[in-house]
């Protein structure tokens, strides 16, 4: 066993808590959105891809990574293509690509200028922006293909259970869509299509119907086994805890958004974040105390999780440090 495979053994998808992979994915996405260094972004792309290669198992959700890779590639290409085609306000001085320009006059306003010379700076900017989006997509893709959505449910606290279920069904949707897309496409080729029949009716509708059917089937099976039971909590308690959880999430999201988009208002951000966290803890405490759900076996935290979480925390601190010092 080589050193890399031994390391991968510790953090392989089956041996880790799915929450760690989601936290790692989200922190990589945050790092990517904070940096403008092309090398860091490319490193994140390559890093996530190699982590997936090393750690994934042969579960159905692990198959969805091909989709994310394609999406990332498309995003990079589109971002650069748009920059080249809709070339607004590029100075001609340090031209990097000398393309002839096309002016389209609509007869009113300014003529629309397409192509034309592009400065190295503008090209660079588009490239970095494309890679940033790609890195975020791949980081989320990593979480999605390594975290077992079914195990994810087991690791959430009782109070957030219903929200977590909705989220995990939603997360499950992407791999399911991809699976039914390939199945339906194969089935369509068996049927053939008369002239005048649009391809979109043949593929998109059955795929969506199939995905919804499957999610409904899962929901029915969960409901038939007691999911969503109010138990001995009063309506008031259930609604109160949910409301509190919702407010907490709003605070945390606002805090995080402020942090990302205007990193200079640190006091406000920290207030939002800490207030949100406190509310969340209270809400979880409140409803967990009256939990009507038993946890037969909790998903344990292992050495692998500690490694993943430490590394992502370090990366995030570094990125924040970089962003604030600028």
Partner 1 sequence: MIQLKDLTFSYLKSDGSKVSETPQINNVNLTINSGEFVLVCGPTGSGKSTFLKTLNGLAPSFTGGVISGELRINGVNLLGLEPHEFASVVGYVNQQPENAFVGDTVIDEIVYCAEQLGLPIKEIELAVKKISQLLEISDLLERPLLTLSGGQQQRVAIASALVAGQKILLLDEPTSALDLVGAAEVLKVLKRLCSEEGVTVLLAEHRISRVIAEVDSVLVVHGDGSVTKGPTATQFNDPRFVPPIIELGLKLGWKPLPITTADAAKQWNETRPMFQSKVLAEAGKEVLSVSDLEVSFGSVQALQQTSFSLAGKQITALMGENGSGKTSLCWAIQGSGTRTKGTVTTSKGDTQDLSTSERLEVLTMVPQRAADLLFLATLSAELEESDKYAEVPSGSTAKLFQLLAGRIDTSIHPRDLSAGQQLSLVLAIQLVKQAKIVILDEPTRGLDYSAKHALAKQLNSIRSQDRAVLIATHDIEFVAMIADRVLVLEKGQLVSDSSPLEVLGAGKQFASQLAEISQEAGLISIEQVKL
The DSSP-derived string for 210-260 is: HHHHHHHHHHHHHHHTTTT--TTS-HHHHHHHHHHHHHHHHHHHHHHHHHH
Q: Does 182 bind partner 1 (CB under 8 A)?
A: no
Q: Does 191 bind partner 1 (CB under 8 A)?
A: yes
Over the window 271 to 300, marking each residue x when it contacts partner 1 by CB under 8 A and - when it does not, the resulting string is --------------------xxxxxxx---
Q: Does 170 bind partner 1 (CB under 8 A)?
A: no
Closer residue to partner 1 (CB): 121 or 209: 209
Closer residue to partner 1 (CB): 78 or 293: 293
Q: Does 53 bind partner 1 (CB under 8 A)?
A: no
Q: How many CA atoms lie within 13 A of 69 on its CB side?
A: 13
Q: Does 58 bind partner 1 (CB under 8 A)?
A: yes
Closer residue to partner 1 (CB): 217 or 321: 217
Of 7, 222, 286, 311, the one binding partner 1 (CB under 8 A) is 222
CA 73 to chain centre: 16
Name the residue with tokens 């070339």: 87
Q: How many beta carbons lie within 10 A of that of residue 128, not counting itself?
A: 18
14: which DSSP letter?
G
Pairwise CA distance, residues 25 & 311, whole Å: 11
Closer residue to partner 1 (CB): 197 or 270: 197
Q: Which residues contact 143 (CB under 8 A, 6 or more apart)?
A: 21, 22, 24, 25, 26
- Smallest distance from partner 1 to CB 11, Å: 17
Over the window 126 to 155, marking each residue x when it contacts partner 1 by CB under 8 A and - when it does not, the resulting string is ----------------------x-xx-xx-
Q: Does 234 bind partner 1 (CB under 8 A)?
A: no
Q: How many beta carbons lie within 10 A of that of residue 67, not counting itself?
A: 18
Which stretches of the chain bind partner 1, using CB under 8 A? 58-60, 148, 150-151, 153-154, 183-184, 186-194, 197, 201-203, 205-206, 209-210, 213-214, 216-229, 231, 291-297
């Amino acid at each position: 066993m080589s050193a890399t495979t031994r390391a991968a053994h510790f953090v392989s998808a089956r041996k880790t808590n799915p929450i760690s992979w989601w936290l790692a994915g989200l922190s990589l996405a945050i790092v990517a959105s904070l940096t403008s260094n092309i090398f860091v972004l490319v490193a994140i792309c390559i890093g996530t891809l190699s982590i997936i290669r090393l750690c994934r198992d042969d579960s159905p959700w692990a198959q969805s990574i091909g989709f994310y890779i394609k999406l990332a590639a498309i995003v990079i290409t589109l971002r650069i293509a748009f920059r080249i085609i809709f070339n607004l306000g590029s100075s001609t001085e340090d031209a990097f690509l000398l393309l002839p320009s096309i002016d389209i006059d609509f007869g009113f306003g300014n003529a629309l200028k397409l192509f034309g010379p592009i400065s190295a700076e503008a090209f660079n900017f588009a490239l970095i922006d494309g890679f940033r989006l790609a890195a975020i997509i791949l980081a989320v893709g990593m979480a999605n293909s390594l975290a077992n959505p079914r195990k994810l449910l087991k690791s959430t606290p009782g109070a957030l259970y219903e929200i977590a279920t909705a989220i995990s069904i939603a997360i499950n949707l992407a791999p399911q869509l991809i699976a039914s897309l390939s199945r339906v496409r194969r089935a369509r080729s068996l049927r053939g299509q008369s002239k005048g029949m649009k391809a979109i009716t043949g593929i998109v509708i059955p795929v969506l119907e199939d995905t919804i059917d499957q999610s409904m089937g899962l929901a029915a099976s969960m409901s038939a086994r007691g999911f969503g039971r109010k138990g001995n909590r009063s309506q008031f308690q259930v609604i109160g805890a949910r409301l509190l959880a919702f407010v907490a999430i709003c605070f945390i999201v606002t805090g995080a958004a402020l942090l990302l988009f205007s990193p200079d208002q640190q006091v406000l951000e920290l207030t939002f974040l800490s207030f949100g966290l406190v509310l969340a803890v209270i809400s979880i405490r409140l409803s967990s105390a009256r939990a009507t759900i038993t946890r037969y076996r909790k998903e344990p935290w292992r050495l692998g999780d500690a490694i993943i979480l430490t590394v992502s925390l370090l990366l995030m601190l570094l990125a924040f440090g970089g962003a604030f010092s600028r």
